[in-house]
Amino acid sequence: MPRTDWTPHRREDGELLGWIHPAGDEWIAVDVLGRAVSGPMEWLDAEAVLEEHGIAWLADPWMLEGDTEGPVRVRIVEVTPDDERSRGRVVVKVDDLGDVSRPPTQQYVLSWPAPDRLRMPSPTDPDPRVF
């Protein structure tokens, strides 16, 4: 568990969706990347936010800024939250667009919670399928 006052929230099958932590008299939902996905709210509402947010979005393409001249399209390979024994990390790899015949692509190890430079693609990002 990343923080002692964070309570894990799991799906019915046991998969971790995130955590809920106190914010005064209310609660904040945090996803598996360690990012707040709600403002302060009631406990049941925070649970509902995590249920709706889910984890399928982890499989989507992401953009990583700061390690190259422009943003790089990446895929998340690993998310390991902080715990009492070690610092967490987020590992991403350059998106190979599913080409299994290519050699392995560059990986980047980021801190956890995920830094802001790991973000969802925007309409202005280059399309990696267009040369």
Residue-range domain boundaries for the chain: 7-57, 60-119
**Rounded to an integer, what distance in angstroms lies between the CA atom of residue 118 and that of residue 76?**
10
- At 48, phi and psi to the nearest 5? -65, -40
**Sole residue written with tokens 């969706």:** 17
Quote the tokens at residue 37: 């996905």
Model confidence pLDDT, tens digit, residues 58-96 = 999 999 998 777 889 999 999 999 888 889 999 999 998
| Averaged pLDDT, 24-28 | 97
